[in-house]
Amino acid sequence: MINVMNEPYTEGLLELEPQAFSKQSHQFWTLQIAGWLGYAVIVFLAIIRPQLTDPNFNLSGQILNLAVETSSGFVLSYFQWLLIRRLVHLPLKKMLLFSFFSAAVLGIIYNIIKISSFKVIVYHQQWNEAWNMLEFGGWLMFSLTTMGVWTSIFFIMLYNTKLQKEHEMLLRAQTSAKDAQLQMLRYQLNPHFMFNTLNAISTLIYKNDNEKANEMLDKLCEFFRYSLDNNAISKTSLDKELQLLDLYLSIEKVRFADRLTIHRKVSSTVLKCQVPSMLLQPLVENSIKYAIEPRKEGGSVTISAAKQGERLIIEVLDNGDGQHKTVSNGFGIGMSNTKARLDAMFNGDYEIKISENDHQGISVLISVPFEKQS
């Protein structure tokens, strides 16, 4: 596998830290608002509501105090969020240490605000009047727990986002590496095809058939112009694949004229299905090389494509003598390259069956998942 994604992948991971927060702003504010509203409701139901029957109970003061307590907690937890955003680049142990230390400091500040507000608003005392360690400590545990819970929630949000980002980066890396592999395998076909075609042109020139040689060169230029225009494409639609095949066959028609007959049986429902680029050309080239070229009377090649269930079934069928079935366990680089590209594109979910047909030629049957081009 070509290691083409190492550098972009590393850069992507480095970019995760600022993106981890910027892309979840809506999630943060939703959680922040809902969390502190829930806090206010719980405190009201657990502490204020049971005291409503007390005639000396200061309801308005308690409600105002709860509003101050909730608002100050909202602000302090927001400061904690901003702090974690700045600490996220640190190693995990340091980030945890600093984050929970800051949570403890903010918890103490929150505790002071709560006690001071309670004394001023509910009992109309000085903010620091009649403090004692027992009272402060009793409130402190709840304040520290509150800030610790928010800090833990922020960490969960952060690492959930980072895991999602890393998963997306991994999928992109795998897709790009697979495309690179498909492209590399496709590049193997160009010199292979070029050699065969130039060899045929050379034979025509040797026979002083310059007119046909010149026509083949023109067709060859047209074929490679089309190929270069789609150079970056590792997979394409079956429709475009058939257009490329037509260009190739126009070259072979110059060589073989009436000796080569092409039949096509392609269902219109499969034209948008995705296949590796240059899937058909090497298969047809093998049929021509081994089934048509050796015979003076020539022969025919039939290209069929149809949908069966959720599979695309492609068949390349010739009526030759079947000699190429035994060549390199699937007639050479064309078949081995085709297998490698199908394996890369469909993760092994493909089937190739080579068999003799009723006319003593060879049938190459390919079955792949039916994936329409988006």
pLDDT tens-digit map of 278-329: 788 888 888 888 888 888 888 899 999 999 999 999 999 998 776 655 444 4
- Lowest pLDDT segment from 63-72, 103-112, 228-237: 228-237
Q: What is the pLDDT of residue 178?
A: 59
Most confident of 101-105, 191-195, 208-212, 318-322: 101-105
Say what angle helices 92-117 and 59-87 make with each other, to 10 degrees: 160
Closest CA to 156 of 40, 27, 34, 37: 27
Of 195 and 367, the one with more pLDDT: 367
Closest CA to 275 of 311, 323, 247: 311
Q: How confident is the model at residue 330 (pLDDT cuts 50, 70, 90)?
A: very low
Q: Decide the pairing of beta strands 299-308 and 260-266.
A: parallel
Q: What is the pLDDT of residue 239?
A: 93
Q: How confident is the model at residue 174 (pLDDT cuts 50, 70, 90)?
A: low
Most confident of 99-108, 197-206, 335-344: 99-108
Q: What is the pLDDT of residue 130?
A: 61
Closest CA to 254 of 230, 290, 221, 303: 221
Q: Could you tell me the two tokens for 293?
A: 């070229």
Q: Return the amino acid letter for 58.
A: N
- Render pLDDT for 122-145 as a digit per residue (tens, 0 to 9): 877 777 766 666 667 778 888 898
pLDDT for 16 beyond 60 = no
| End-to-end alpha carbon distance in the chain | 26
Per domain, the residue ranges of the chain are 6-171, 209-369
* Phi, psi torsion values for 311, nearest 5 degrees: -120, 150
Q: What is the pLDDT of residue 58?
A: 82
Of 53 and 329, the one with more pLDDT: 53
Q: How confident is the model at residue 15 (pLDDT cuts 50, 70, 90)?
A: very low
Q: Could you tell me the two tokens for 60?
A: 């308005």
- Lowest pLDDT segment from 72-81, 155-164, 271-280, 281-290: 155-164
Closest CA to 308 of 370, 374, 352, 264: 370
pLDDT for 236 beyond 50 = yes
Query: In the CATH hierarchy, which top-level class contains the domain 209-369?
Result: alpha beta
According to the 3-state scheme, what is the secondary structure of the chain?
Answer: CCCCCHHHHHHHHHHHHHHHHHCCHHHHHHHHHHHHHHHHHHHHHHHHHHHCCCCCCCHHHHHHHHHHHHHHHHHHHHHHHHHHHHHCCCCHHHHHHHHHHHHHHHHHHHHHHHHHHHHHHHCCCCCCCCCCHHHHHHHHHHHHHHHHHHHHHHHHHHHHHHHHHHHHHHHHHHHHHHHHHHHHHHHHHHHHHHHHHHHHHHHHHHCCCHHHHHHHHHHHHHHHHHHHHCCCCCEEEHHHHHHHHHHHHHHHHHHHHHHEEEEEEECHHHCCEEEECCCHHHHHHHHHHHHHCCCCCCEEEEEEEEEECCEEEEEEEECCCCHHHHHHHCCHHHHHHHHHHHHHHHCCCCEEEEEECCCCCEEEEEEEECCECC
Q: How confident is the model at residue 368 (pLDDT cuts 50, 70, 90)?
A: very high
Mean pLDDT of the chain: 78
Q: What is the pLDDT of residue 258?
A: 87
pLDDT for 50 beyond 70 = yes
Q: Return the amino acid letter for 223.
A: F
Q: How confident is the model at residue 370 (pLDDT cuts 50, 70, 90)?
A: very high
Tell me what percent of the residues of the chain surpass a pLDDT of 70: 78
- Render pLDDT for 216-230 as a digit per residue (tens, 0 to 9): 888 888 877 776 666
